[in-house]
Chains A and B, each alone.
Chain A
Amino acid sequence: MFKGFIYNKKAAPYVFILPFILVFLIFFVSPMINTIIMSFQTVLPGSRKFVGLDNYTKLLGDKVFLLALWNSFKYMVWTLILLIPIPMVLACIINSKLMVGREFFKASLYLPALTSVAVAGIVFRFSFGEQATSLMNQLVALFGMDPYKWLKNGTTGFIVLLILACWRWTGVNMLYFLSGLKNIPAELYESADIDGASIWQKFRYVTIPQLKPTTIYVLTISIYAGLAMFIESYMVFNGNNSPNNIGLTIVGYLYRQGIEKNSMGYASAVGLVLFLIGMAINLIQLKLNGTFKKED
Chain B
Amino acid sequence: MKSAKVLKKIATIVAATSLIATMFMGCGGSTATKTDSGKDSATSSGDKLEMWTFVDMHAKFFEKMLVSWNEKNPDKKLDINFSVLPYDDMHNKLQSALLSGQGAPDMVDIELGKFPNFLKGDPQLEPLDDVYAPYKDKVVQSRVAIYSKDNHVYGFDYHVGATVAYYNTELLEKAGIDYKSIVTWDDFKKAGEKYYAATGKNFGTADTSAQWQEALMLAEQKSDFTDASGKPQLNSPQMVKALTTLRDMQDAHAIATIPGGQPDQPDAEAAINNGDYAVVIKAMWYMSRFLEYMPDQAGKWAIAPAPVFEKGQPRSVGLGGTGTVVTKNAKNKQNLKEFIAYAKLSEDGEKAIWDDLGFDPINTQLWSNKDITQNKDNKFIKYFKTNPFDTLNEVKNEIGLIKSTEASPNIYNVLNTVTLNSIFEDKKDIKQSLDEAQQQVENELK
| Chain A residues packing against B (C-beta within 8 Å) | 24, 27-28, 31-32, 35, 43-47, 54, 58, 61-64, 129-131, 149, 152, 221, 224, 227-228, 230, 239-245, 248, 251, 254-256, 259-262, 264, 271, 274-275, 278-279, 282-283, 286, 291-292, 294
Of A131, A239, A251, A256, the residue contacting B271 (CB under 8 A) is A131
Give the residue of A54, A240, A243, A260 whose beta carbon is less than 8 angstroms from that of B425: A243
- Contacts A152-B425, A279-B16 given; indicate if A274 touches B23 (C-beta within 8 A): yes
In the assembly, what is the distance between CA of A241 and CA of B418, in Å? 9
Given A31-B25, A61-B443, A152-B16 contact (CB < 8 Å)? no
CB A71 to nearest CB in B, in angstroms, measures: 13
Kindly list chain B residues whose C-beta atoms are within 8 Å of the C-beta of A271. Answer: 24
**CB-based nearest A residue for B91:** A260
A291 near B20: Cβ-Cβ < 8 Å: no
Q: Is B43 close to A, CB under 8 A?
A: no
Whether B14 lies near A262 (C-beta < 8 A) is no
* B121–A44 CB distance below 8 A: yes
Determine whether the beta carbon of A24 is less than 8 Å from that of B421. Answer: no
The dominant DSSP class at the A interface is helix
List residues of chain B with CB within 8 A of the CB of A259.
27, 29, 92, 95-96
Chain B 303-335 per-residue mask, 1 if CB under 8 angstroms from chain A, else 0? 000000000000000000000000000000000
Q: Are B20 and A224 in contact (CB under 8 A)?
A: yes
Residues from 1 to 44 in B contacting A, C-beta threshold 8 Å: 5, 9, 12, 14, 16-27, 29
B98 at the interface (CB under 8 A from A): yes
Q: Are B267 and A239 in contact (CB under 8 A)?
A: no
Q: Smallest Cβ distance from B390 to chain A, in angstroms?
A: 35
B interface bracket (residues with beta carbon within 8 Å of A): 35 or more
CB distance from A28 to the nearest CB of B (A): 5
* B209 beta carbon closer than 8 Å to chain A: yes
- Evaluate contact between B121 and A254: CB separation under 8 angstroms: no
Ranked nearest first, the 7 interchain pairs of A and B with the lowest CB-CB distance are: A44-B121, A228-B23, A271-B24, A243-B421, A46-B122, A262-B117, A241-B417
Chain B residues with CB below 8 A from A241, complex form: 209, 413, 416-417
Q: Which single member of A58, A242, A291 contacts B446 (CB below 8 Å)?
A: A58
Contact A292–B9 (Cβ < 8 Å):
yes
Q: Is there contact, CB below 8 Å, between A245 and B417?
A: yes
Contacts A131-B267, A239-B88, A274-B24; is A244 near B418 (CB within 8 Å)? yes
Q: Determine whether B137 belongs to the interface, using a CB cutoff of 8 Å to chain A.
A: no
Instruction: List B contacts of A278 (CB < 8 A).
Output: 20, 23
Given A152-B425, A245-B417, also A28-B18 (CB < 8 A): yes
- B23 with A227: CB separation less than 8 A: yes
Closest to B439 in A: A63
By a CB distance below 8 angstroms, the chain A residues around B299 are none
Is there an interface contact between B417 and A45, defined as CB atoms closer than 8 Å?
Answer: no
B:219-261 near A, CB below 8 Å:
259, 261
The verdict on A262 contacting B18 (CB below 8 Å), with A58-B446, A228-B24, A292-B9 known, is no
User: Complex: how many Å from CA A104 to CA B49?
Assistant: 54
Contacts of B410 in A (CB 8 A): 261
Residues of A close to B96: CB separation below 8 A: 259
CA distance A24 to B17 in the complex (A): 10
- Cα-based distance from A102 to B206 in the complex (angstroms): 52
Q: Which residue of chain B lies nearest to A273 when distances are taken between CB atoms in the complex?
A: B24
Q: Give the Cβ gap from A295 to chain B, nearest Cβ, in Å.
A: 9
Which residues of A sit under 8 angstroms from B98, Cβ to Cβ? 45
Residue pair B259, A260 in contact (C-beta under 8 Å) = no
Most buried by B among A27, A152, A291: A152
Assuming the contacts A45-B98, A292-B9, asked whether A245 and B418 have C-beta atoms less than 8 A apart, the reply is yes
Residues of B contacting A54 with CB < 8 Å?
446
Which B-chain residue is minimally distant from A27 (CB atoms)? B25
Q: Is the CB of B20 within 8 A of A275?
A: yes
Contact B122–A244 (Cβ < 8 Å): no
When the two chains form the complex, which single residue of A35, A131, A243, A262 contacts B417, counting CB atoms closer than 8 Å?
A243
Given the interface contacts A224-B20, A260-B88, does A62 sit within 8 Å of B443 by beta carbon?
yes
Pair B417/A242 contact, Cβ less than 8 Å? yes
26 contacts between A and B (CB under 8 A): A24-B14, A31-B21, A32-B21, A58-B443, A58-B446, A62-B440, A62-B444, A63-B436, A224-B19, A224-B20, A228-B23, A239-B88, A240-B88, A242-B417, A243-B425, A244-B417, A244-B421, A244-B422, A254-B27, A255-B27, A259-B27, A260-B91, A261-B410, A262-B95, A278-B20, A286-B16
With A45-B98, A251-B24 known as contacts, the answer to whether A294 contacts B88 (CB < 8 A) is no
B365 to chain A, nearest CB (A): 37
Q: Establish whether residues A243 and B20, one from each chain, have CB atoms under 8 Å apart when the complex forms.
A: no
Is B124 part of the contact surface with A, judged by Cβ < 8 Å? yes
From the candidates B92, B124, B261, B443, name the one contacting A260 in the complex (CB within 8 A). B92
Query: Which of B24, B416, B418 is the most central at the interface, judged by chain A CB atoms within 10 Å of its CB?
Result: B24
